[in-house]
Structure 1
Amino acid sequence: MWTVGLLIYLLAVFHRSSLAVAGLAATERFDISAAQLATFTMLQLLVYAAMQVPVGLLVDRFGSRSVLLTGAVVLSAAQAGFALAETYPLALLARFFVGLGDAMTFICVLRTLAMWFAPRRIPLITQLTGTLGQVGAIGAAVPMTWALSTVGWTRAYLFTASLGVILALVGLVVLRDTPDARNLRGAALSPSAVRRSLAASWAHPGTRLGFWIHFSTQFSATTLSLLWGYPFFVRGEGRTPTEAGVLLTLLVVAVVTGGPVLGWLVGHHPWHRSTMALVVVTAIAATWTVVLAWPGEAPFGVLVVLALVCGVGGPASMIGFDVGRTSNPAERLASSTGIINVGGFLASLLLVVAIGLVLDWRTPGASTSYTPEAFRWAMALQYLLWGLGLVQITRYRLRARRVIDREALQAGVLP
């Protein structure tokens, strides 16, 4: 069960990240500016973030299998539409549905884990899911760069769309919601019951702590991998396209290697989960400070460190889900996960759009030849988000610790 769900999530990450290496090609294909290019990712992330809570409610009501298979079909159709689009409005419509299909994947996989694995193993399996899913981002780095330059835009994107159809067919045969039921249906919820469920989830300080952990740890890596990493490394730091692809791949390598380590630490030291998140956020901000303050172009070795440290932010964001899992009962698990998942993608959405606006502001005329100086202005916007996130993590960490039983948490006893 987990393997098929993981493969669908992996493909969703690929679709989500494919524009990162196709950004410059997209500006030429659709004749668009930096702000318009950022709108692709902005729209995709906006839809993704807006759908997290509704998808969580759908999973609680209809089960993870049905929602996950629907997401796989929507993703495939959207990516095919993006492959064939020749105008900017049609391409935007396709990215809208990419975000919609993407929103239906990760929550479903987390719900499946909760039904198939023992509570003590869930932190590690959750990290492995997020970690291995990022292999999709590797596929969207060097291989997708090669495919775009070799077979062209349309064929490259059509091939990736076909993979989703194959996985949906496999999932239709293999996936089950629980060991005892192919489809697990929850009770129908009235609008008032939905409001009460969401309010109860959000009222718990553990949910809010999870939200702000996800908000603070993820956005730097997401922004680099989804859109601005390749242009930043090529135009902002003077690297070749191959070097930029390597750096984006190293970012994903950090996700893959850091996930199991953090999963083990969270499983064995759950009381200190927020401390781990604070350390990761501080390290990411410090590394960016070195790069942005470097006179001229930063050495390749420094950029390697940046990619690796930012990559750790991906698995660190999973800490937020574990905090939410241990703060809410089973019937609110998917909806509380949806609330938390909004955090990182909301921050990423704000940053992606703001970077595009600042690049256009700091670049003369209608040119897309962004300067290193323009990128330094744009990337410095991250400090605003880090500052807000660190304050809120510290705030809700104190509140959560007042209501969470430390001994029960260490013993793996859930609400």
Structure 2
Amino acid sequence: MRAGIACLVAAYVLSQFYRAFLAVLAPVLKTELGATAEDLASASGLWFLTFAAMQLPVGWALDHIGPRRTTIALLAFGGGGGALVFGMATTPMAIKLAMALIGIGCAPVLMASYYIFARQFPPAVFATLASAMIGFGSLGNIAGSLPLAWAVQAFGWRETMLGLAVTTLLVAALLGLLLRDPDRVEGGSKGSVLDLLKMPALWPILIMMSVCYLPAGALRGLWVGPYYADVFGADTAAVGWATLVMGLAMVLGNFAYGPLDRLFRTRKWVIFGGNLACAAALLALWAHPEAGGGTTLALIAAVGLFGSSFAIVIAHGRAFFPPHLMGRGVTLLNLFGIGTVGAAQILTGRVHAAIPPTPPSAPYAALFLLFGLVLLAGCLIYLISQDRTD
């Protein structure tokens, strides 16, 4: 099982890479394919939306078929096939199609891991394991920053994407060889997502799940690149450095959040405090979008650091799930967490296009304000949630 989990970590590294790499490729795709910021926002949004749309069928498959076959099939078809389409793209529409396919391919990876953690490890360590999975997987976030910029400069973006397609197919093959399913839960065919939605205690957690990853996911997934290019004149390498800093902050945040529920004996207030700090960083970016030097970069890093509560929010929700609905429970949370990012990417692309760039920071200041206010609203609703630790 350890070798299988290691393969899932490798697959999740790819998933994190695929959700974040467009920020670095934005300048070259604009030059070679004529892709606008709105095109790339739609492409990024389609990754998140198809990823989210797959969560309910993935949850059913985890409970009925198991994580092994579910992950192999989708990762090979969607991840490998989508990366291949991306590498051969000649229009922005092809980029959108590729990102939609890759979103399908990445959909089961993290949830398969969480399903195994929930089924085969003590409940008290779920948050730590879940956060560590995202922390190690966030190496893909790092790879999608400066290392990607170097690869593009050395080999070209098409060759880099074709290499990633081969890598994705190889990881899927290794999962087939090394991953093992947990024992089936007796009564696993009974119940549905509707049973989970009837639980009042779950709704404030679902609201927090909807907003906690939205700012960090949207900024790191796309907007950091155009922001630095348009406001500060950054080239691909400079964008790579900025996204690297934010990516490292997100890795640190994931590892830091993991044990805090046991340290402070609360999940609710760890989640609330962290997301409040993230909202404060976003509002500071709105107030000072052209701040030079390390100020803007520090605030972007703070969004990444404090906006990495995804795993501990899932741990909060997981504490309410019955064992036979574990797969559908974690994927329901993931649907709310990822789906809102997809919708936001498409919406923010339209907001960005609608606001005149006078000064160039104006559209981005509007996005920072929007993200900050949405996160604050989610925090207020989350205040009525029921705290629960294992």
Counterpart selection for 1:154 from 149, 153, 158: 158
Q: 1: CA distance between counterparts of 2:332 and 2:107?
A: 12
Q: 2: CA distance between counterparts of 1:82 and 1:187?
A: 42
Q: Which residue of 1 aligns with 2:103?
A: 99
**RMSD (Å) for aligned C-alpha atoms:** 2.3
Does structure 1 conserve the Cα–Cα contact (< 8 Å) formed by 2:279 and 2:372? yes
Q: 2: CA distance between counterparts of 1:264 and 1:280?
A: 14
- CA apart distance, 1:186: 7.6
Q: 1: CA distance between counterparts of 2:312 and 2:359?
A: 36
5 Å matches for 1:5-404?
5-74=8-77, 75-178=79-182, 184=184, 189=189, 196-239=191-234, 241-270=236-265, 272-294=266-288, 297-363=290-356, 371-395=360-384, 397=385, 400-401=386-387
One-letter identity of the residue aligned with 2:106: D
Structure 1 residues 19 and 128, CA gap change in structure 2 (3 angstroms): same
Q: Report % sequence identity.
A: 22
What are the Cα deviations for residues 223-253 of structure 1, in whole angstroms up to 9, with x where unaligned?
1111111111221345454343222112221
- CA apart distance, 1:335: 0.7
Q: 2: CA distance between counterparts of 1:300 and 1:340?
A: 38
Does structure 2 conserve the Cα–Cα contact (< 8 Å) formed by 1:210 and 1:319? no
Worse-matched range after superposition: 234-243 or 149-158: 234-243
- CA apart distance, 1:322: 0.5
Structure 1 residues 88 and 255, CA gap change in structure 2 (3 angstroms): closer
- List gaps (5 residues or longer) in structure 1: none
Q: 1: CA distance between counterparts of 2:92 and 2:232?
A: 29
Does structure 2 conserve the Cα–Cα contact (< 8 Å) formed by 1:107 and 1:338? yes
- CA apart distance, 1:65: 0.9
Does structure 2 conserve the Cα–Cα contact (< 8 Å) formed by 1:284 and 1:310? yes
Does structure 2 conserve the Cα–Cα contact (< 8 Å) formed by 1:148 and 1:156? yes
Secondary structure in 2 aligned to 1:315?
Answer: coil
- CA apart distance, 1:86: 1.1
Secondary structure in 2 aligned to 1:348?
Answer: helix
- List gaps (5 residues or longer) in structure 2: none
Does structure 1 conserve the Cα–Cα contact (< 8 Å) formed by 2:279 and 2:373? no
Q: 1: CA distance between counterparts of 2:274 and 2:206?
A: 16
Does structure 2 conserve the Cα–Cα contact (< 8 Å) formed by 1:255 and 1:311? yes
Q: 2: CA distance between counterparts of 1:186 and 1:385?
A: 41
Structure 1 residues 349 and 44, CA gap change in structure 2 (3 angstroms): same
Q: 2: CA distance between counterparts of 1:334 and 1:378?
A: 34
Structure 1 residues 378 and 254, CA gap change in structure 2 (3 angstroms): closer
Q: 2: CA distance between counterparts of 1:22 and 1:244?
A: 9
- CA apart distance, 1:18: 1.7
In the alignment of these two chains, the number of paired residues is 386
Does structure 1 conserve the Cα–Cα contact (< 8 Å) formed by 2:150 and 2:237? no
Does structure 1 conserve the Cα–Cα contact (< 8 Å) formed by 2:187 and 2:324? no
- Please give the TM-score of this superposition, normalised by the length of structure 2: 0.92
Secondary structure in 2 aligned to 1:199?
Answer: helix
Q: 2: CA distance between counterparts of 1:370 and 1:177?
A: 55
- CA apart distance, 1:221: 0.9
Worse-matched range after superposition: 6-15 or 129-138: 6-15
Q: 2: CA distance between counterparts of 1:89 and 1:373?
A: 27
- CA apart distance, 1:187: 6.5
What are the Cα deviations for residues 32-64 of structure 1, in whole angstroms up to 9, with x where unaligned?
332222110111111111111221111111001
Q: 2: CA distance between counterparts of 1:73 and 1:299?
A: 43
Does structure 2 conserve the Cα–Cα contact (< 8 Å) formed by 1:209 and 1:320? no
Q: 2: CA distance between counterparts of 1:32 and 1:119?
A: 46
- CA apart distance, 1:10: 0.9
